[in-house]
Amino acid sequence: MLETVKIEISQSFNEFNKEEWNRLVPSDSLFQEYEFLNGLEETGCIAKSDWFPVLVSARQNGTLVGVLPSYLRKDSYGEYIFDFQWANAFHRAGIPYYPKLTVAVPFTPVTGSRILFDPSLSENDRENLCSRMLLTLKQFGSDENVSSVHILFCKEVEQKLGEQVGFAPRLSHQYHWFNKGFSNFDEFLGTLVKERRKSIRSERKKIIETGLKIETLTGDQITEEHANLFYEFYKDTHSKKWGQPYLNRKFFQHMVESFRHRLLLVLTSKPNGDAVGGSWNLYRDGFLFGRYWGALEYIPNLHFECCYYRLIDFAIEHKMERVEAGAQGEHKFLRGYETVPMFSSHHIYNDQGRSAIEAYLEKEIELEKENIAAYNAHSPIKSLRET
């Protein structure tokens, strides 16, 4: 079958249509959906931040059967698997580190499929096509004289396939919440140690006592007004962190117009109706992803309520499998989120640089495994402490 497949490289999502692209996207990888990725391009967010699409696609008789979205990068901002030390080492050695190629969802540290396939393909055909597409990307990188190719927040199976064509594995971690068939929030709390149950109940009670109105909005409940409001929340968060916001108002408007069916907003307002803050989240089937948070004034515990507890409530009510709340943040761990491994893969073209980085990664992987085990051994989740 694969002998008839033609592999090409495109430089814009506009060279594809939504239907053919989305047919390849699995449920747990919604940030790879066309509306999200094309929205980043159409609203100018990726161009402003130096993410230039390099889209490896595979077609059989004109039908799209595989796609590998990657980006040519001039820096490493917005990736969240950090390689700044590698770039500095290259610079000290007089070797250019940029440009490089990155396979990731821009500004979005969530795990998911990084290579998308026609769901009807056999496992063997997927593996063969994956190898061909990765080798095509590696050859493109060589032709363009990039320093490296990075596949970030990929699935473990993709990491293993990458190793077969010369990519070195890397390990990091995040904190995810898993639904163990809970019927309500109190049942989830029952799986935690006593002091954490008490602390979480106290945090939620204090929010109730403020008299604030907290709404969970989906679908047609979400309007263009919410797009503008949540952009202000998002912008305010970045200003407090002395950071440059990657996204613009047009992107939030685009999401409400084109991706409303994937949005879940948690909006907090005062009794007089004035908006205070909230969280911007996305979901599909059994998977819920927390993304952006902001508040126009500080209210103790509001972040935890909007970004964690309300998402857990929603996941339990809708019998969802998992909640991911983004990168970093040990405060997630303290609130019943498990420590889980994150996988990435890296190919360095320079021989000396590759040897040094691969040696570093081997040691880092062992340290990360120890870190993950140590975190879970002290988890507030009683069952993890017992294993």
- In this predicted model, what pLDDT tens digit does every residue of 228-273 receive, in sequence order? 999 999 998 765 655 678 999 999 999 999 999 999 999 999 999 9
Rg of the chain on CA atoms, in Å: 22
- Is 163 found in the same domain as 43? yes
Residue 325 covered by a domain: no
**Domain boundary residue, one of 320, 352, 368:** 320
* Structure confidence at residue 241 (pLDDT): 57
In single-letter form, the type of residue at position 264 comes to L
* Structure confidence at residue 277 (pLDDT): 96
**Domain holding 214: CATH number?**
3.40.630.30
Tokens of 250: 């047009």
Residue 208 covered by a domain: yes
How far apart CA 85 and CA 91 sit, in angstroms, is 10
Q: What angle do CA 61, 64, 67 make, to 5 degrees?
A: 135
Tokens of 87: 């770039």
Contact between 100 and 73 (Cβ < 8 Å): yes
Which residues, in sequence order, are CB contacts of 82 under 8 Å at separation 6+? Answer: 76
- In this predicted model, what pLDDT tens digit does every residue of 300-355 receive, in sequence order? 999 999 999 999 999 999 999 999 987 777 789 899 999 999 999 999 999 999 99
- In this predicted model, what pLDDT tens digit does every residue of 17-72 receive, in sequence order? 999 999 999 999 999 999 999 999 999 999 999 999 999 999 999 999 999 999 99
- Is 168 found in the same domain as 22? yes
* Structure confidence at residue 326 (pLDDT): 78
* Structure confidence at residue 240 (pLDDT): 60
Q: Please, what's the largest Cα pairwise distance for the chain?
A: 66
Tokens of 313: 């409530």
Residue 60 covered by a domain: yes
Q: Which domain holds residue 24?
A: 2-173+340-377
- Is 205 found in the same domain as 244? yes
How far apart CA 188 and CA 191 sit, in angstroms, is 6
How far apart CA 107 and CA 88 sit, in angstroms, is 22
- Is 198 found in the same domain as 148? no
Mean residue pLDDT across the chain: 95
DSSP summary character for residue 123: H
DSSP summary character for residue 82: -
- Is 256 found in the same domain as 226? yes
Ramachandran bin of 293, using left for φ above 0, alpha for ψ from -120 to 50, beta for the remaining angles:
beta
Contact between 107 and 94 (Cβ < 8 Å): no
List, in sequence order, every residue forming a beta bridge with 295; answer none if it has no partner: 277
- In this predicted model, what pLDDT tens digit does every residue of 1-13 receive, in sequence order? 567 899 999 999 9
Tokens of 279: 């969280």
* Structure confidence at residue 129 (pLDDT): 96
- Is 150 found in the same domain as 22? yes
> What are residue 291's phi and psi, to 5 degrees?
-125, -70
User: How many independent structural domains does the chain possess?
Assistant: 2
- Is 107 found in the same domain as 252? no
CA 217 from chain center: how many Å?
21
What are the C-alpha distances in Å from 150 to residues 1, 73, 137, 334? 29, 11, 11, 31
Of 321, 339, 228, 232, which is closest to residue 283 (Cα–Cα)?
Answer: 321
Tokens of 312: 């857990």
* Structure confidence at residue 66 (pLDDT): 98
- Is 267 found in the same domain as 191? yes
How far apart CA 281 and CA 230 sit, in angstroms, is 11
* Structure confidence at residue 327 (pLDDT): 75
Residue 245 covered by a domain: yes
- Is 122 found in the same domain as 32? yes
In terms of Cβ atoms closer than 10 Å to its own Cβ (0-12, 13-18, 19+), residue 183 is: exposed
- Is 9 found in the same domain as 82? yes
Residue 382 covered by a domain: no
* Structure confidence at residue 336 (pLDDT): 93
